Structure 1
Amino acid sequence: MKPYLFLLVALCGLQVAAQQLQSPSEFLGYPLGSQFTRHHEVVDYYQYVAETLPRQVQVHTYGKTNERRPLMYAIISSAANMTRLEEIRGEHLKSLEGTGNGATPIVWLSYNVHGNESVSTEASMQTLYDLLTSKSAYLENTVVIMDPCINPDGRDRYVNWYNQYKNTPYQVNPESKEHQEGWWSGRSNHYMFDLNRDWAWLTQVESQQRLQAYRSWMPHIHVDFHEQGMNAPYYFAPAAEPYHEVITGFQREFQKTIGRNHARYFDANGWYYFTKEVFDLFYPSYGDTYPTYNGAIGMTYEQGGGGVAGLGVITRTGDTLTLKDRIAHHLTTGLSTVEVAAGNAGALTDAFRQYYRQPRNHKYKSYVLKGEPDRLAALTALLSKHDIRYGTARTGTARGFRYSTQANGSMALDGSTLVVPTDQPGGNLVKVLFEPDARLSDSLTYDITAWSLPYAYGLDALASEAAVPYSETSTAITATSGQASLPGAYAYLTDWNSMKDARFLAGLLQAGVRVRRASEPFRAEGRDWDRGTLIIQAGDNRNLPDLGSTLAQWARREGKQLTPVASGYVDSGKDFGSRAVAMIPQIKVAVLSGDPTSTLRFGEVWHFMEQQLHYPLTVLDADFWDEAELEQYDVIVFPDGRGYRRFLTPARLEALKQWVASGGRLVAMGSSLDALGGEDGFGIRPKRNSASSGEGEVTPEPYAEGRRERIKGAITGAIFKTRVDPTHPLAFGYPDTYYSLKLGSASYERFPRGTVAYLDEGARPVAGFAGSEAVTEISGSLIFGVRPHGRGQVVFMADNPLFRGFWENGKLFMANTLFMLD
């Protein structure tokens, strides 16, 4: 057969297949938008399309959720492009080194990161169908990757709930039950984490698996489809200020190009929309910013609706917003995005290559870090997941900005010093994640304004304007390996300063090993041991037939080194039989869930216990609180939340006080502290300053400036240096300072005894935005403290050491609340 006849036959075959392809409505058996589609049905449709058009569609499973639902994406393009798909991908990835001749734009569309923002998955199926049929011309020079549901667990939670409670036919009155989703909403994943804030931190299995897939493609455009309040018009690019300074002129301008194309379609349909407001490009862990900091055009699209919208709802203007309307809007922007990419292929591919080819003219050429080996190991493990290069320093001295002093200084270098250069393909991302204080072009932001990893990981850091010589490595350079075996001994010692140590202890306790901890420093076996040192005595564990093997097993698992000692008689300090060496009990932990807690803050505690500490806990639902037998728990955690004043009735507060007085330990976090004060509470008192007194002359302010005036009293995720009492068991493993991420201006008085971490008078943020009035309000206030009550204790955590699971340096405080307090 002649070549042109072969091509004609092939094209005719594709057209016939496309004509035979069932639409989502035909395949599902109901009009798209008349019901919510369960995740397994969405997967079925994508697989059906791939089976029907195998020359144009590939479906890949890239992981599983905590609830074992598949995570998947589809690759679609023309048949000609699909035959050379690996060539296209390989040539494009050369762009990361500033080379290659890739000319095919790659567009990645991500749907349903928030499970109850459910319209986007529905829209994805219609987008897939239209791209393969009526809009197939867009695919001639473009590869499109579609992830129909980033958060299957949350989506099915919402869809199942809605199907259970909706009226038939659906009720548009927003007060009806079908519009009033409960506390355990579908927004978050299984552990109630917000996956749209986890792109950089990778605390969740969905994020970890998705990033591997994403970085194997590194698209030119990435779109994150969302929903917002049901009364809001549609939002699309360009984004609002602040833009981070690493964002290029091309990235800014191309957002406008895409926005204008969207506006053309929305104008033609008479649909309302807005741009350049609310949704900025600053915080690095979003589905728009993370791709942007990796060279893509990263964008968020927001449709009005969300979990309150259901299949249809009456809005504030009296109009009915239906699921079909919402699908139409997301379908339009999705197709418009691919259209713009196809029409600007050369500009997109050239700009992406230039993004990685251009010199990294950042002020700081190297970030130099020293600290506890376990913390360095944890950081390098994160960097490796982001393909960020790093290595060990050569001997010498580096000069630059010292994070600890907020001034220029020097740091001695040795083989344990970590160097992260900005002169590398991921240099812009390095700057964003490590810079001491990101520059804000506008103080009105959508999220936190500080996240610098040296503070988050509790490391001594220096930012150098000179390139610091280093030897590159691709492994967690300071991680220690566990011992293969242990000799018999009187006791075994190991240090306490990281989450690795906490996991080791948690494992031993669950294995039945009895462990003690030192509350005073001592010297033994030729070295100094600090407070919190774990002491495992053979005499305490006579019931274990082979203590050495058990310890070696857990040491290998957690990468721990243990030091055998032949005697309990120490060179200096307290001997092992002293009252200063107390047994660590195997405690039973409970955490309160439901209203009054925040779902996200509850999820942080839940995830910390099960997935980071690997220690069991009981979840006590608020509705079951009055029936719960509190005496069986040693520790109860109250996560942050706004409803504690309503929840803690006088009777419940009295019962809680009796439980603590009988020896219980209450861990109160965030806003729960407000309900524990007063004469009938536990002695925590708000701190009052002149900024909140209301005294003095009132100066009228223009209405238009109201929002900017209000942020004077706000703290939008800023980092503060705090003072720490390292002799207190709550602070074992910490030095005398700690960098805390403050999320608000609530402040509490310090205790005469039991103040563990606090702000100095006049403390100002070392990074991030804090309003002038807020800084005055929190001056000298409590961060962490412990107060006795009867035979028990209350641990007060004004700041959240578990925020979003990424503030690595705060997690040992939570472990100390469980294992180190008397």
Structure 2
Amino acid sequence: MSIFRVILAALAAVLVLPQMGHAQSRQQGESNLIGTLAPVSPEFYWPGANYDPAVPTPHSVLGYQIGQAITPHASIIDYFEALAAYAPTRVRLVDYGRSWQGKRLIYVVIGSPENIANLSAIQADVQKLADPRTLTTSEADAIIARHPAVVWLAYSVHGDEIGPAESSMQLAYHLLAARGDQRMAEIAKNTLIVIVPMQNPDGRDRFIATNIGSSGLAPVSSPIAAERDQPWPGGRVNHAQFDLNRDWFALTQPETRAQIAAYLSFYPVVMVDSHEMGSDRNFFFPPEANPINPNVTQEQIALKTLLGQHNARWFDQIGLPYFTRESYDLFYPGYGDGWPTAQGTISMTFEQGSARGLMIKRSDGTFLTYQETIKSQFVAVLSTLEVAARERMRFVRSFYAFRQSAIQEGRSEAIKSYLVPTQADQSNADKLAGILTRQGIDVARATTRFSACGRNYAPGSYVISAAQPTKRLIRNLLEVDTKMEPAFVAKQERLRRAGLEDEIYDVTAWSLPLLYNVEVQACTMDPNVTTQKAGTALILPGKLVHGDSKVAYVIASGSTATTRFMAQALQAGMIVRQMEGAFKLEGQTFGAGSLVVLGGENAPSLEQNLARLADSTGATIIGFKTTWVTEGPSLGSDKALKLRNPKIALAWDSPTDRNSAGAMRYVIERKFGVPITPIRVRRFAKAALSEYDVIILPDGEGDYQSAFGQAGIANLNNFVQQGGVLMSVGSATSWLAEPDVGLTGLRREQATMTDAEAKSKQADPKSKPGSTTIEGLNLPDVGAFVQAIASPVREPTELDGAILRAQTDQEHWLTAGLAPNLTMMVSGSAIYRPLTMDAGTNVVRFSGPDQVKASGIVWDDSRQQYGFKPVVTVEGKGRGFVVAFTIDPTYRGMADGLDSLVMNAIYFSAARARPTR
């Protein structure tokens, strides 16, 4: 069927709306919302297709043909269950997890009857291939000779990228029913196909609800139609407002954790992550754009190119436009293609321009239908399967060789191991070990003391050998910096200086030790020490250390476990005190910010409750027989401040940034177990805020001023004056700093001038009064021309996501228990002038210009201007406080090293505020 005929049919048809995937009629006399588009010829999906009528079609299960409606999550599962029931010897359906909302996460294995019957043996074989240390060469050759190429197909990680999930059903039907496609026999024999039809069911169903709720009699092609104008937060993110395509090594979300565990049970040799993009764009498949992660091998690039070239041949034959190399790089290892690539998989992102509905009119006047977007994904994946089947042994051997060479590199290169010493925040070190282990990395925990690379290590230190199959992933995650090609960086510098947009797609830094604020030493030896294998637990149990008499219990500051204990103890109704200064009790010294629980202030069941909290939070709780302090503040003094269990509200909905709002909520609720109340921004103008102790304004992506209005500003100001704590993040801080708002004394800076700019400004020609002309200016070279066209007022250079160093004011109560030095992800261009001493306190500030860069691409002018500028400020306002973060401390939910800073800002500020209620 021609594209023209498809468009005419869609325009003439009534809207097709699935209700849980089954056609339902409306009341008699009304138009049926379940209409029918013109039948889709098999040739629309594949030339010469001839399908076995016995195989369940999508239409027979869904009530409509593929592409005539956007199929909900439950109905997609219905279809795959129908296929599994029809062909149990060729199809295996497995539940591998649940989404936040409890929706089923499934994968479907399709293969020959022999391969499905031998599925357990195939998985056992690949576990051996994945660890060449366990195999002889002859054993490896034997497995490679018999092992099918496992191809992992992951669809619709973003919920509003609707076509890929639909395409998964069309692919499965074709694999089982096609009789006119001669490739199917070889694909069935030589591959094992694992289909994840939907990675983000919560986001997809949210999009569908919006689309259905705005639909009418016929499909609407207008790009601004309500059916594709997604209200906040849109369908892209999951329930927790996370972008799942950036979570692969962070492992913050249940959907990601579950898929990685499933992936590691198969170790596919080829993987496709199917996406959609803007409607005006055609289809993208690799090769990728620069920069390429330095841990990607040349063989991986060659195989990606082989697959891309084969895709191109089919796209040319069928008449589908595509592009490669111009966008979508392969640098960040947190994507659905980057992380598997670091494991040895030939992993690719496919991107198709999206209809965001059944049909859309593009800006050039042409139409794009939902069926077309499904078709292109279907063609590209079939092409990929064809190559994987034909080149089965090459792909399988490539995977084995990748992991074998990783071991050899770990043995031969200078860095032989990564050592994680026991440290003040052992809780974060333990979590780092658990996160690495969950990704198939061997992590060992020392059971004895040992020495290596010039220092001593205590029992409990972690040892991560580089001589293991995951060495390249280890380097990606633990190295301080992952280098870009110098030529690429130089090009970006030229673009930046010319006032053009750079080509950096995402962050330039992600080192987990820096984000966790955990010390990791790269060591030139693999220490000889007795160890035990680290587990996958992210929180190790703490302990309750008994004294002779339990009149006081102390939880030392400096650990995220202590922060977890604080939050959960207050939730449980305990009375908890925070010590403003260091003190000594029974010969033991505890730092400022340590917590004290007094037996006389709490219930008789205190010790049992403390034991339970030690186990769940990882905190070490020490019992004492006396409260007699020999140095520092007494346990009953004003400097032993009783903490409040604050009631927290979070600004929600537009104009907040969904990722920032979601990450803040995730950190507070999921990491620390503290419930918060999201309040839609439009309610702040009139809402009674006095019932809350803390209000948080996350980073924004819109106009806070218009959303709040003068009434909202007045309400926030009154909230603070009457004893509330207002906490702002990122662009919300910029809004509070506006002179018309005035809730903080911070002010955004313009870009600083270079020497040449300052000189140019001094010689800037001025027009004479009343003149329509300006004095002449000689431009002797290109540099002078660039200066002449430069904007006289501009923002500081934007960072694309780098990690910067900062220092804490160790004398301030907000930083009690925090390390003197912190590292944090910074993106954007907002830089602020420090507060003057009469206005407030700069409690966390960036390091000086020569030390501020920790990792990533930091332009020289950025490095200079960030030096000593504020990260967190505290200002007293009336009876309350304004705590302003100039960066987002909850970035992607993976900046664990700043979690205690966030909770300190909430709890320690609320305890010092003096609310009138």
TM-score (norm 1): 0.92
Partner of 2:156: 112
Partner of 2:315: 266
Return closer, same or farther for 1:552/1:93 CA change in 2, 3 Å cut-off. closer
Return closer, same or farther for 1:357/1:535 CA change in 2, 3 Å cut-off. same
After TM superposition, list the pairs within 5 Å mapping 1:544-555 onto structure 2.
Answer: 544-555=603-614
Asked whether the 8 Å contact 1:104–1:143 carries over to 2, the reply is: yes
Deviation readout 1:654-677 (Å, 9 max, x if unpaired): 221111011110110011111111
Shift of 1:484: 9.0
Q: 1:659 and 2:712 equivalent?
A: no
**Equivalent position SS for 2:522:** strand
Q: 1:750 and 2:834 equivalent?
A: yes
Shift of 1:395: 4.3
Deviation readout 1:106-165 (Å, 9 max, x if unpaired): 000000100011111100000111112225321111100000001111111111111111
CA distance in 2, matches of 1:19, 1:90: 36
Partner of 1:411: 455
Code of the aligned partner of 2:752:
S
Partner of 2:93: 59
Code of the aligned partner of 2:512:
L
Greater mean deviation of Cα atoms: 655-664 or 86-95: 86-95
Task: Identify which of 40, 60, 78 aligns with 1:44.
Answer: 78
Code of the aligned partner of 1:677:
A
CA distance in 2, matches of 1:512, 1:193: 31
Task: Identify which of 708, 733, 745 aligns with 1:673.
Answer: 733
Return closer, same or farther for 1:472/1:567 CA change in 2, 3 Å cut-off. closer
Partner of 2:389: 342
Partner of 2:436: 383
Asked whether the 8 Å contact 1:691–1:776 carries over to 2, the reply is: no
Asked whether the 8 Å contact 1:639–1:668 carries over to 2, the reply is: yes
Partner of 2:504: 445
Task: Identify which of 714, 730, 740 aligns with 2:824.
Answer: 740
Code of the aligned partner of 1:250:
E
CA distance in 2, matches of 1:688, 1:323: 45
Partner of 1:433: 477
Code of the aligned partner of 2:904:
N
Code of the aligned partner of 1:386:
Q
Shift of 1:473: 2.4
Q: 1:687 and 2:749 equivalent?
A: yes
Identity of matched residues, %: 29
Asked whether the 8 Å contact 1:124–1:148 carries over to 2, the reply is: yes
Partner of 1:720: 804
Asked whether the 8 Å contact 1:454–1:461 carries over to 2, the reply is: yes
**Equivalent position SS for 1:756:** strand
Task: Identify which of 830, 853, 861 aligns with 1:765.
Answer: 853
Task: Identify which of 363, 370, 377 aligns with 1:323.
Answer: 370
Greater mean deviation of Cα atoms: 453-462 or 337-346: 453-462
Asked whether the 8 Å contact 1:514–1:540 carries over to 2, the reply is: yes
CA distance in 2, matches of 1:391, 1:23: 51
Asked whether the 8 Å contact 2:544–2:623 carries over to 1, the reply is: no
Question: Please, what is the CA RMSD of the aligned residues?
Answer: 2.3
Return closer, same or farther for 1:158/1:485 CA change in 2, 3 Å cut-off. farther
Task: Identify which of 647, 663, 676 aligns with 1:588.
Answer: 647
Shift of 1:687: 2.9
After TM superposition, list the pairs within 5 Å mapping 1:349-388 onto structure 2.
Answer: 349-358=396-405, 359-360=408-409, 361-370=412-421, 371=423, 372-388=425-441
Deviation readout 1:331-375 (Å, 9 max, x if unpaired): 111111111100110111111111112212444221122223212
Shift of 1:258: 0.7
Q: 1:538 and 2:538 equivalent?
A: no
Q: 1:507 and 2:568 equivalent?
A: yes
Deviation readout 1:167-223 (Å, 9 max, x if unpaired): 321111112211211112111111011111111111011111111111000100111
Return closer, same or farther for 1:296/1:362 CA change in 2, 3 Å cut-off. farther
After TM superposition, list the pairs within 5 Å mapping 1:592-671 onto structure 2.
Answer: 592-642=651-701, 643-671=703-731
Greater mean deviation of Cα atoms: 786-795 or 19-28: 19-28
**Equivalent position SS for 1:108:** strand
Partner of 1:96: 130
Asked whether the 8 Å contact 2:96–2:258 carries over to 1, the reply is: yes
Shift of 1:316: 1.1
Asked whether the 8 Å contact 1:141–1:345 carries over to 2, the reply is: yes
Code of the aligned partner of 2:257:
Q
Task: Identify which of 310, 320, 333 aligns with 2:357.
Answer: 310
CA distance in 2, matches of 1:712, 1:192: 29
Count matched residues: 788
Partner of 1:228: 277
Return closer, same or farther for 1:782/1:156 CA change in 2, 3 Å cut-off. same
**Equivalent position SS for 1:648:** helix
Asked whether the 8 Å contact 1:687–1:781 carries over to 2, the reply is: no
**Equivalent position SS for 2:649:** strand
**Equivalent position SS for 2:620:** coil
Asked whether the 8 Å contact 1:482–1:557 carries over to 2, the reply is: no
Q: Look at both structures and tell me which one has the larger radius of gyration over its CA atoms.
A: 2
Greater mean deviation of Cα atoms: 95-104 or 66-75: 95-104
Partner of 2:769: none
Code of the aligned partner of 1:727:
E
**Equivalent position SS for 2:336:** coil
Unaligned runs of at least 5 residues, structure 1: 1-15, 400-409
Partner of 2:581: 520
Greater mean deviation of Cα atoms: 476-485 or 799-808: 476-485
Shift of 1:695: 4.9
CA distance in 1, matches of 2:583, 2:544: 24
Deviation readout 1:688-733 (Å, 9 max, x if unpaired): 452499755483789xxx9xxx999231211111111123222222
Code of the aligned partner of 2:322:
Y
CA distance in 2, matches of 1:260, 1:111: 22
Asked whether the 8 Å contact 2:83–2:91 carries over to 1, the reply is: yes
Return closer, same or farther for 1:671/1:78 CA change in 2, 3 Å cut-off. same
Code of the aligned partner of 1:417:
S
Greater mean deviation of Cα atoms: 338-347 or 645-654: 645-654
Code of the aligned partner of 1:416:
G
After TM superposition, list the pairs within 5 Å mapping 1:385-404 onto structure 2.
Answer: 385-392=438-445, 395-399=449-453
Partner of 1:9: none
Deviation readout 1:229-256 (Å, 9 max, x if unpaired): 1111111011111111111111001111
Return closer, same or farther for 1:78/1:277 CA change in 2, 3 Å cut-off. same
Partner of 2:767: none
Return closer, same or farther for 1:689/1:668 CA change in 2, 3 Å cut-off. same
Partner of 2:892: 804
CA distance in 1, matches of 2:390, 2:725: 63
Return closer, same or farther for 1:167/1:512 CA change in 2, 3 Å cut-off. same
TM-score (norm 2): 0.83
**Equivalent position SS for 1:293:** helix
Q: 1:190 and 2:239 equivalent?
A: yes
Partner of 1:30: 64
Asked whether the 8 Å contact 2:724–2:881 carries over to 1, the reply is: yes
Asked whether the 8 Å contact 1:662–1:790 carries over to 2, the reply is: yes
Q: 1:422 and 2:428 equivalent?
A: no
Asked whether the 8 Å contact 1:787–1:794 carries over to 2, the reply is: yes
Q: 1:462 and 2:521 equivalent?
A: yes
Asked whether the 8 Å contact 1:411–1:462 carries over to 2, the reply is: no
**Equivalent position SS for 1:20:** coil
Asked whether the 8 Å contact 2:513–2:520 carries over to 1, the reply is: yes
Code of the aligned partner of 2:83:
V
Unaligned runs of at least 5 residues, structure 2: 1-49, 490-502, 761-781, 913-917
Return closer, same or farther for 1:328/1:583 CA change in 2, 3 Å cut-off. same
Return closer, same or farther for 1:507/1:396 CA change in 2, 3 Å cut-off. closer
CA distance in 2, matches of 1:132, 1:711: 57
Return closer, same or farther for 1:484/1:533 CA change in 2, 3 Å cut-off. closer
